[in-house]
Amino acid sequence: MKITVIGSGYVGLVTGACLAEIGHQVMCFDVDKNKISTLREGKIPIYEPGLDELVVKNIKKERLLFTDNVEDSVAFGSVQFIAVGTPSGEDGSADLNYVLKAAENIGKHMAEQKYIINKSTVPVGTAEKVKTTINAQLKTRGKDIKFDVISNPEFLKEGAAIDDFMKPARIIIGIENQECKPAMEELYAPFQKNHDKIVYMDVPSAELTKYAANCMLAVRISFMNELSRLAEVVGADIDSVRKGIGSDPRIGFNFLYAGVGYGGSCFPKDVKALIRTGRQNEVGLEVVEAAERANKNQKKFFGDKVKKYFGSSISGKKIAVWGLAFKPNTDDMREAPSLDVIADLETQGCTFSVFDPVSMTEAKKVLASSKVKYCQNQAETLDGADALIVFTEWSEFKALDFEMLSKKMKGKAIFDGRNIYDGKVVRRNGFEYFGIGKK
């Protein structure tokens, strides 16, 4: 099939590369001209394992094209994926400007029947707005062209995006016209071979499913984070509790890790947007609101541990930081908890020497502080440090070299925001250990 992907960010680029890989002809469009020229050279502007190989391979095979020309992009695909950003607006609702601009462009330039598939995460009712926007443009042009707006939310995880796209647990497709089904089957045919992955539903249900999934995961994390605070007070260990409840098949082990709080480009904004949808419809979503509050508290709670440790002598303390991104295997710094905790400790007079294996360039754009020194490696951050904070559970951070830590650090405190170390081992090696939800 001939497919256009509008927006070439984390979701658009992965969608385009993967659909090209399974044999479709794909054109990726973006309004960011620099991004498109970088991509045309086979260079990837984001860090996503395996994506560069896939893009280069499919450019060579002439199945993957990039354009910044809107008319070409609309003319190319009978399928037009919308995969642009939906950041939080000022009131917490999803900002639909980019989605509606993409719809407007389609309406302005389409000359034949299209399937408009929305992959961006959008509130219920957005497909209707997309339809209205396209119709308005067609009316202005005096054209009557058939099109369908389909909701197909994306569930990929940054850091494992290719695998998630290529081996989806499910493909949610919201349609209002049953005649769209054959085209959807053709589009996703290779994923359907083993068993049916497509789950058809109506459009509002598909739009809501995406928020339901992310908010459920955020609730699980916040639940464990709150329990971790209680565990510390009552002398329990949150990891033992996790194992204890995770073994119940009704609960399962995933997304039960206590930590410094959730972040990233999706959970925080999707939680906010669902709360907003609830309020607009006068339906209180108290569980989701509590999850958001608990997440905010968790980041503060972690910063408070550091403050409590140093007490009144905190000003001037030098903190080594390992990991900045909200999770490993991504350079995405959007809403990373490290940003809040560093900002909080900076107000106390701390300075920071930081290292992340891939997110340093992105971090420099959002960590405005002059109190931050960017280091080349883990070891360099430790020189003269009074404490070490770990924000991201990168594999390369998981084994501690205590000899190096002792030689380089001035202080003895390790704050483990992801519970990756065994406190007993850390203490045996002469350091003080502060995990989350640990005795």
Ligand X SMILES: NC(=O)c1ccc[n+]([C@@H]2O[C@H](COP(=O)([O-])OP(=O)(O)OC[C@H]3O[C@@H](n4cnc5c(N)ncnc54)[C@H](O)[C@@H]3O)[C@@H](O)[C@H]2O)c1
Query: Which residues of the shown chain bind ligand X in the complex (CB under 6 A)?
Result: 6-12, 29-32, 35, 83-86, 98, 101-102, 120-121, 154, 156, 158, 265-266
When the beta carbons of 8 and 378 are compared against ligand X, the nearer one is 8
When the beta carbons of 79 and 227 are compared against ligand X, the nearer one is 79
When the beta carbons of 152 and 419 are compared against ligand X, the nearer one is 152
When the beta carbons of 32 and 163 are compared against ligand X, the nearer one is 32
Closest residue to bound ligand X by CB: 9
> Is residue 274 within 8 Å of 311, Cβ to Cβ?
no
When the beta carbons of 86 and 209 are compared against ligand X, the nearer one is 86
When the beta carbons of 214 and 353 are compared against ligand X, the nearer one is 214
- Contact partners, residue 90, CB within 8 Å, separation at least 6: none
Residue owning tokens 């984390």:
10
Q: How far apart are CA 24 and CA 17, in angstroms?
A: 10
When the beta carbons of 120 and 225 are compared against ligand X, the nearer one is 120
- Contact partners, residue 403, CB within 8 Å, separation at least 6: none
How many CA atoms within 13 Å lie on the side-chain side of 271?
Answer: 26
| 266 carries an active-site annotation | yes
Could you tell me the smallest distance in angstroms from the CB atom of residue 409 to ligand X? 35
Could you tell me the smallest distance in angstroms from the CB atom of residue 191 to ligand X? 17
Could you tell me the smallest distance in angstroms from the CB atom of residue 159 to ligand X? 9
Could you tell me the smallest distance in angstroms from the CB atom of residue 423 to ligand X? 32
Q: Which of 18, 215, 266, 350 is catalytic?
A: 266
Token pair for 105: 């462009």
Could you tell me the smallest distance in angstroms from the CB atom of residue 205 to ligand X? 17
When the beta carbons of 51 and 238 are compared against ligand X, the nearer one is 51
Token pair for 249: 């098949």
Token pair for 323: 């990991």
Could you tell me the smallest distance in angstroms from the CB atom of residue 219 to ligand X? 18
Could you tell me the smallest distance in angstroms from the CB atom of residue 158 to ligand X? 4
Q: What is the largest CA-CA distance in the chain?
A: 78
> Is residue 86 within 8 Å of 99, Cβ to Cβ?
yes
Residues with a catalytic annotation lie at 266
